[in-house]
Chains A and B, each alone.
Chain A
């Protein structure tokens, strides 16, 4: 997609995202939409490390969670406005990404993956034991009156829409620039990339930090959204499924894949959860994930590409 088309498309998406909540549409649309947009950001963030560099991250809940809790701490201690909460959350997410990366990126890919699983549990345990943010039972938050929009659901939908556009733009920039080429080189052959002058460790750390920061940012509005925070729903496995699944099913390695995947999965999630059950939803996504990983590794985008080549 040419640069011009992308920026026009982004502008349209942004205007729609910010303007739609003013329209007299059913509140449920924005409720579901907020979740879908959260997954767009999460899947896009995951794709930067998992798709471009090839390092599978099973820890999205940890990064999302640290973002949510950072926002809560900023709100509770300083009464910080949402923008500051998001910035703080992104910072914490980025630092966590950097930390995990420093610890394990020197090792093989699977050790990184396992470390990310560990991080989720450790983060959750830490939050469970921290009284200040409510510990195991959680914390109720008194939200300031909502500005500009009719409800928090609408306002946060707009915020998420803006965040999605920013995240996708960032992902696209990374992908099409020399950074993306370096990441792809190290994914294709780390040794050859090093020999070709690519500072593989630094690039991996960069991808880790950016990915973590975006996920942290995605987690920041959630406490305001629910006016409540607690460990189990914050560190929910669903975020792993949504990020991984969204990116893999949509198509890794391309910035558009996570959008397609997240929207597909998000919609599917709403449909299945409402008509059958929420456990069934996880099962369906799990099956889809396996099917795609086995049969259609390039995701939906790849399938489209093949269809158009004929």
Chain B
């Protein structure tokens, strides 16, 4: 397997509470990977450790052959890991286009800002997300689905090789879910490895090539979508023991 992301034995505790315990995972280049698990199972914590928002106490995280465990989040982004946030965090004092200008200026054009035309690039990204008309709207005036798309657009603006989508579809209507799903499929077609965290099972199953289920900070099952759905451990985790 051409492992783009290698998570080895990662553990994370908060005070007395163990959020992650010995999690190991390998994700291949170009893969569509699904991460599921009941609330509180540690999905977002794991993602936070991968993106650098949190530091794991034990274990290592390797991206494209490089150990990134000690790197701060912004450096991981510069190496190609991008993520959206479960609860959208737009830069609320800025317009939609300015939101995208930030990663464009700080990641893509880090060395050569004077030559950058970030507006054109931002508009192109927004066009792909079908948000182009909102380019100059203050981001705090967006609707839920528009905020979710902005989250993804901002993550994409950093030109990542690995995109982590953290519950981007939560609370969206059927057609909106379809919209986001189609965007993610398209991104993957262009070669971007995607990790999807979702509760909307049919979306995860349609999208993922491989799925892992977490419960109480541990991996309880790993395999193809069809197998995961039928796994009794997974059903028990969701329905509660």
Report A's interface with B, CB cutoff 8 A: 178, 181-182, 184-185, 187-189, 191-201, 253
Task: Give the distance to chain B from A294, nearest Cβ to Cβ, in Å.
Answer: 19
* B73 touches which of A178, A187, A189, A195 (Cβ 8 Å): A195
Taken together as a complex, chains A and B put the C-alpha atoms of A181 and B83 apart, in Å, by 20
Query: Which residues 71-89 of B sit at the A interface, judged by CB distance below 8 A?
Result: 72-75, 77-78, 82-83, 85, 89
* B94 touches which of A181, A191, A197, A200 (Cβ 8 Å): A181
Taken together as a complex, chains A and B put the C-alpha atoms of A187 and B82 apart, in Å, by 20
The 5 closest A-B pairs by CB, nearest first: A197-B107, A194-B73, A197-B106, A192-B89, A189-B89
The reply to whether A199 and B74 form a contact with Cβ atoms under 8 Å apart is yes
Can you pick out 19 interface pairs between chain A and chain B where the beta carbons lie within 8 Å of each other? A185-B91, A185-B102, A187-B93, A189-B89, A189-B90, A189-B91, A191-B85, A192-B90, A194-B52, A194-B53, A194-B72, A194-B73, A195-B155, A196-B77, A196-B157, A196-B158, A197-B107, A199-B75, A200-B74
* B91 touches which of A193, A194, A197, A199 (Cβ 8 Å): A193
Report B's interface with A, CB cutoff 8 A: 51-53, 72-75, 77-78, 82-83, 85, 89-94, 98, 101-103, 105-107, 110, 113, 154-155, 157-158
Task: Give the distance to chain A from B194, nearest Cβ to Cβ, in Å.
Answer: 16
Taken together as a complex, chains A and B put the C-alpha atoms of A188 and B89 apart, in Å, by 8
Contacts A189-B89, A196-B77, A196-B103: A178 and B72 contacting too (C-beta < 8 A)? no
Contacts A178-B105, A197-B107: A192 and B94 contacting too (C-beta < 8 A)? no
Question: How many A-B pairs fall under 8 Å by CB?
Answer: 85
Which residues of A sit under 8 angstroms from B113, Cβ to Cβ?
178
Contacts A178-B105, A181-B101, A189-B89: A196 and B94 contacting too (C-beta < 8 A)? no
Which residues of B sit under 8 angstroms from A188, Cβ to Cβ?
89-94
Interface of B is mostly: helix
Which residues of A sit under 8 angstroms from B75, Cβ to Cβ?
199
Which residues of B sit under 8 angstroms from A253, Cβ to Cβ?
93
* B103 touches which of A191, A197, A200 (Cβ 8 Å): A197
Which residues of B sit under 8 angstroms from A201, Cβ to Cβ?
72
Nearest B residue (CB) for A188: B91
Which residues of A sit under 8 angstroms from B78, Cβ to Cβ?
197
* A195 touches which of B53, B93, B98, B101 (Cβ 8 Å): B53
Interface of A is mostly: helix
Task: Give the distance to chain B from A177, nearest Cβ to Cβ, in Å.
Answer: 9
Nearest A residue (CB) for B113: A178
Contacts A181-B98, A182-B106: A195 and B51 contacting too (C-beta < 8 A)? yes
Which residues of B sit under 8 angstroms from A200, Cβ to Cβ?
74
Taken together as a complex, chains A and B put the C-alpha atoms of A229 and B18 apart, in Å, by 57
* A198 touches which of B52, B90, B94, B106 (Cβ 8 Å): B106
Task: Give the distance to chain A from B100, nearest Cβ to Cβ, in Å.
Answer: 9
The reply to whether A195 and B83 form a contact with Cβ atoms under 8 Å apart is yes
Taken together as a complex, chains A and B put the C-alpha atoms of A197 and B52 apart, in Å, by 11
Which residues of A sit under 8 angstroms from B106, Cβ to Cβ?
178, 182, 196-199
The reply to whether A182 and B102 form a contact with Cβ atoms under 8 Å apart is yes
Contacts A181-B94, A185-B102: A192 and B85 contacting too (C-beta < 8 A)? yes
Which residues of A sit under 8 angstroms from B90, Cβ to Cβ?
188-189, 192
Task: Give the distance to chain A from B174, nearest Cβ to Cβ, in Å.
Answer: 28
Taken together as a complex, chains A and B put the C-alpha atoms of A187 and B92 apart, in Å, by 10
Which residues of A sit under 8 angstroms from B157, Cβ to Cβ?
196
The reply to whether B74 and A198 form a contact with Cβ atoms under 8 Å apart is yes
The reply to whether B53 and A184 form a contact with Cβ atoms under 8 Å apart is no
Taken together as a complex, chains A and B put the C-alpha atoms of A189 and B78 apart, in Å, by 18
Which residues of B sit under 8 angstroms from A178, Cβ to Cβ?
101, 105-106, 113
Which residues of B sit under 8 angstroms from A197, Cβ to Cβ?
74, 77-78, 102-103, 106-107, 110, 158
Which residues of A sit under 8 angstroms from B73, Cβ to Cβ?
191, 194-195
Nearest B residue (CB) for A189: B89
Taken together as a complex, chains A and B put the C-alpha atoms of A196 and B152 apart, in Å, by 11
Task: Give the distance to chain B from A50, nearest Cβ to Cβ, in Å.
Answer: 15
Which residues of B sit under 8 angstroms from A185, Cβ to Cβ?
91, 94, 102
Nearest A residue (CB) for B92: A188
* A181 touches which of B74, B82, B102 (Cβ 8 Å): B102
The reply to whether A181 and B105 form a contact with Cβ atoms under 8 Å apart is yes
Candidate in B83, B91, B154 with the most chain A CB atoms within 10 angstroms: B91
Task: Give the distance to chain B from A274, nearest Cβ to Cβ, in Å.
Answer: 39
The reply to whether B72 and A184 form a contact with Cβ atoms under 8 Å apart is no
Nearest A residue (CB) for B140: A188
Task: Give the distance to chain A from B208, nearest Cβ to Cβ, in Å.
Answer: 23
The reply to whether B102 and A193 form a contact with Cβ atoms under 8 Å apart is yes
Taken together as a complex, chains A and B put the C-alpha atoms of A181 and B102 apart, in Å, by 7
Which residues of A sit under 8 angstroms from B158, Cβ to Cβ?
196-197
Nearest B residue (CB) for A199: B74
